[in-house]
């Protein structure tokens, strides 16, 4: 807006110096319109190319930072330097062209102002309708008119580019598939204490990775399973047998037919936010967020953060044998990137986060949480689950049968179907499907 007002003000002052110059104003407006239209189209395309050219360079930079130890170990410094310089050269080409058209714009505007100054002097001398003072002011304004025009057109181009970015974001939102929320008339808002009992019931479930209307093959076939409050249930099977798919239906991540209820509420009538926030999860790979250790442990419970003292959090980390490793690098307020923790210790932090949320929900989901940790860490996690979640419903995907002997039930899946279900001790010793999996080292 300031650039536009500056251009209008300078044009008025110049026309006051030579009134006949106003006759050329429509022609000047047409020339400026054609100029900005050509410059805008070219500049917009070059800005997009500039962003696309810088993306590989930024990716290379981040990957290099993360893999510095590997690069040094294999003596790849010269190859990485050559690759990075090549990406840097390619990323500068659109930027150089963008600077070139900006210099071209300044040249054309200078020529346009030069023509206006010549006409100003010509009309002032030949018509003698202006005073020397007005002519002096008009000539002074003409000297800065080129800069005002350049600033105005550059600002207009930046505005158009920003609007184009917003348009691309809007288009991305329109073409990107979104999760389907239940209709407002069937939406159910659970109580703040839900789920307070921990009962889970799958009834006649068929699940699809693509929507069933599209003709996709089901990954789960007629699954019916009921888990009582406080029951500990382990799920095992071959790779691709449907273990993770079964848990994905519980979080509303897969399209399915049938009915899934938690504490008597059909999850298809719950919002995805309410459903997922009502379940405590320990994932297969540790998920830690940017920020301090404290914010990672208490990220989703402000009231709990106010109730828990540092001593309570430290006592929990000591029971999980993580606090000594934390103390070597910092404290609860230390940023996660500054803590030197192993994979197993990070997984123990995820378990600690789940323990701190144990009063928020009665259901704990373990998605192969102990599949990639050592034996000692596994023992720590098993002991913590037995003591901290004694009254909770636990559903765990397992690969090591020694972790499920104290569970109440064991469910064996194969090709998306339940093939065996019973007490873990009996299923492991019987000559059934699970025994064949164990002998074939598939579980």
170-179, 186-195, 299-308: range with highest mean pLDDT: 186-195
pLDDT bucket at 20, cuts 50 / 70 / 90: low
Query: Is it the case that residue 146 has pLDDT exceeding 70?
Result: no
Sheet holding 218-227, edge to edge: 218-227, 200-208, 255-262, 265-266
* Percentage of the chain exceeding pLDDT 70: 82
Query: Is it the case that residue 250 has pLDDT exceeding 80?
Result: yes
Pairwise CA distance, residues 94 & 84, whole Å: 17
**DSSP state string for 252-289:** T-SEEEEEEEETTEEGGGS-HHHHHHTSEEE-SS----
Indicate the range of 18-32, 167-181, 355-369, 388-402 predicted with least confidence. 18-32
Query: Is it the case that residue 307 has pLDDT exceeding 60?
Result: yes
pLDDT value of residue 32: 76
- Per residue in 89-118, pLDDT (tens digit) is 999 998 899 888 888 877 887 787 778 777
Pairwise CA distance, residues 392 & 361, whole Å: 8
411 φ/ψ angles, rounded to the nearest 5 degrees: -115, 125
Query: Is it the case that residue 168 has pLDDT exceeding 80?
Result: no
Look at the alpha carbons of 62, 64, 68, 73 in this order and tell me if their dihedral is positive or negative: positive
**DSSP state string for 94-130:** HHHHHHHHHHHHHHHHHHHHHHHHHHHHHHHHHH--S
- Per residue in 316-326, pLDDT (tens digit) is 999 999 999 99
Q: Are 287 and 373 in contact (CB under 8 A)?
A: no
Which helix (H) or strand (E) is 375 found in, with range? helix 375-388
2 CB-side CA count, 13 A? 3
Q: Are 232 and 407 in contact (CB under 8 A)?
A: yes
- Per residue in 73-82, pLDDT (tens digit) is 999 999 999 9
Which helix (H) or strand (E) is 195 found in, with range? none
Query: Is it the case that residue 442 has pLDDT exceeding 50?
Result: no
Pairwise CA distance, residues 317 & 321, whole Å: 6
Question: What are the start and end residues of each CATH 1.20.1560.10 domain in the chain?
Answer: 2-175
Q: CB count, 10 Å around CB of 44?
A: 14
Q: Are 120 and 14 in contact (CB under 8 A)?
A: yes
CATH code for residues 200-439: 3.40.50.300
pLDDT value of residue 439: 55
Question: What are the start and end residues of each CATH 3.40.50.300 domain in the chain?
Answer: 200-439
* pTM (two decimals): 0.68
**Mean per-residue pLDDT over the chain, rounded:** 83
- Per residue in 332-362, pLDDT (tens digit) is 999 998 888 999 999 999 999 999 999 889 9
Structure tokens belonging to residue 381: 């996690």
Rg, the chain, Cα only: 34
CATH code for residues 2-175: 1.20.1560.10
Structure tokens belonging to residue 347: 């997984």
């Amino acid at each position: 807006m300031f650039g536009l007002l500056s251009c209008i003000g300078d044009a008025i002052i110049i026309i006051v110096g030579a009134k006949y110059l106003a006759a050329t104003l429509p022609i000047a407006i047409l020339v400026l319109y054609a100029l900005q239209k050509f410059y805008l189209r070219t500049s917009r395309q070059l800005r997009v190319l500039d962003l696309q050219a810088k993306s590989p360079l930024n990716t290379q930079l981040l990957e290099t930072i993360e893999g510095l130890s590997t690069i040094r170990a294999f003596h790849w410094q010269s190859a990485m330097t050559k690759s990075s310089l090549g990406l840097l050269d390619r990323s500068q080409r659109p930027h150089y062209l963008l600077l070139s058209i900006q210099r071209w714009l300044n040249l054309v505007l200078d020529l346009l102002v030069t023509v206006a100054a010549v006409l100003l002097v010509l009309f002032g001398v030949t018509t003698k309708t202006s005073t020397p003072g007005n002519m002096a002011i008009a000539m002074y304004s003409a000297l800065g008119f080129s800069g005002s025009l350049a600033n105005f057109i550059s600002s207009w181009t930046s505005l158009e580019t920003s609007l184009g970015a917003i348009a691309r974001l809007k288009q991305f939102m329109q073409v990107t598939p979104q999760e389907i929320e239940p209709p407002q008339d069937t939406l159910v808002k659970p109580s703040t204490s839900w789920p307070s009992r921990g009962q889970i019931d799958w009834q006649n479930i068929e699940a699809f990775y693509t929507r069933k209307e599209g003709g996709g093959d089901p990954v789960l076939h007629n699954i019916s399973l009921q888990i009582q409050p406080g029951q500990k249930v382990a799920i095992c099977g071959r790779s691709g047998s449907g273990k993770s798919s079964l848990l994905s239906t519980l979080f509303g991540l897969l399209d399915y037919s049938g009915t899934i209820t938690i504490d008597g509420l059909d999850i298809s009538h719950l919002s995805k936010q309410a459903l997922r926030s009502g379940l405590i999860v320990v994932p297969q790979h540790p998920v830690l967020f940017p920020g301090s250790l404290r914010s990672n442990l208490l990220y989703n419970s402000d009231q709990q953060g106010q109730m828990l003292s540092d001593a309570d959090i430290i006592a929990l980390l000591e029971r999980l044998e993580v606090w000594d490793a934390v103390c070597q690098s910092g404290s609860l307020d230390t940023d996660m990137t500054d803590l030197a923790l192993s994979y197993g210790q990070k997984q123990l932090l995820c378990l600690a986060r789940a323990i701190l949320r144990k009063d928020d929900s009665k259901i704990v989901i373990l998605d192969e949480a102990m599949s990639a940790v050592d034996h000692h860490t596994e023992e720590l996690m098993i002991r913590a689950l037995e003591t901290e979640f004694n009254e909770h419903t636990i559903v765990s995907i397992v690969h090591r049968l020694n972790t499920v002997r104290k569970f109440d039930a064991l469910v064996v899946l194969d090709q998306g179907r339940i093939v065996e279900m019973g007490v873990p001790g009996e299923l492991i010793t019987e000559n059934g499907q699970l025994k064949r999996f164990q002998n074939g080292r598939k579980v």
